[in-house]
Structure 1
Amino acid sequence: MGLSVLAVDDVPAALDELCRLLRESPEVSEVAGAGDPISALKMIQNGRFGAVFLDISMPGLDGLELASLLTKLSDPPVIVFVTAHEEHAVAAFGIGAVDYLLKPLRAERLADTLARVAKRATAAPESSVDAMAALPVEIGGRTQYVRRSDVQFVEAHGDYVRLHTKTGAHLVRMPISRLQEYWESAGFARVHRGFLVALASVRELRSDAVGGLLAHTDLGDVPVSRRHSRELRERLLRAAQRGELDRRV
């Protein structure tokens, strides 16, 4: 049995094209279309769909809001966003989307996504997915993924953050306060108004020329404000006692 898929887009031509591409995919056995989020929600409540492909910019209830509602269902469908707006990618993955496709949609890109959708749809219900273990980064029209485990520290740039890794720095549209919410429980600490640091990346704490505190990483020193210094020391001590700092590469 193939996937039963619901496509949602308020632009008729875009909806028709998405449905056509889905019907031509061997992984898909049934395709239904909805021209607005409310109709889509009713169809999902009355039927069983393994996956929902959503546009984001729609009147009334946008795609992100609809997806948030779907995640609260007892047996939620796999969610994929199909949109012309790349700036919502982080929010989409934060909701738990499997993929984020940019229009115009290419058949080969859709095939890769459907393989991932099928894998997720057949996974055991109890298996959990850490949706924020990687963040999408748009580079030259292509989407790459930066793993959280590769990030040593994060620097704020207004509504963006710069993720510092050994392979380079990557800019992602997300306020640092929001990323802190997602990553704090995964070993990141807010050490300054403009910085997060991975505890496992801190080699040592140093004093700067004026007596301030610096968290030294392989990629450079991260400033630590006075209000965050005590908490950082305590978290580093707890991490060391649990042996977590010994896992650094």
Structure 2
Amino acid sequence: MFEGKILLVDDQPVAAQDSIAALEHFAKPSQILFAGDAKAARQILDTEPVRLAFLDIEMPGGDGFSLAAYIEETHPGLPYVFLTGHADFALESYEYEPVDFLTKPVDIRRMERTFEKVRRRTDALRQEKIAVRSGADYLFLEPDQILYICKEKRKVHIHMKDGRVCQTSHTLEELERIFAEYHFFRCHQSFLAPLSNIRAAGASRFGQTYEAELEGGARIPVSRSRYGKLREKMEKLGISFLRGTGRKGETGQDGPHSDHRR
């Protein structure tokens, strides 16, 4: 079964139901999000952790091509598939970068090939190495081997899971853009970390600030202004924040002493 949320965009209710029925062979019904037009689709894309999108091409108020351009601009790396009842659109669609092109009504065996393409693409991304500047040279790093990135005394360091620390001449803002499709989160003005590495988040040991515990036990600060966004992103991935333990001064609501663990 596919892991993560799937967005289906189609303005035709009957065709949409057929596509949803086909998708349910590869994902749970709760994973499938539906939008009847491009505006509703953009709202879902901006608020939900969508991992794959199926886009109808012909729609009023914005076609699938404009929606694909929006995805490529604002959600780089998100795979999408074009859906249409007219195979003539196939050539035009490849001006974009879809994972696949499906004609309606969707054949389940043909959709199985689409999900296999998505899986291969995901595996390739996990193995991909990103070139990062280090002075006049380049470092080739695997995103899933990065523990966190931080700025220390005007220098930016990349901390690897194997203990290596690599200095880069990129700014933290540049690295935030480079690693956006790998779900890195800017939890503090000086720290950037992959969401997958975060094991717990909540109040620091002194209770006045926030911090995140990473894989291996490392701790990094979380800004008060970004703690809510971090919590939102982690909860969308299905990870719950626990209530506080009832220390003096707590209200019993999720707040400064909240903690989340896998």
TM-score normalised according to structure 2 size: 0.45
The two structures have a TM-score, normalised by structure 1, of 0.47
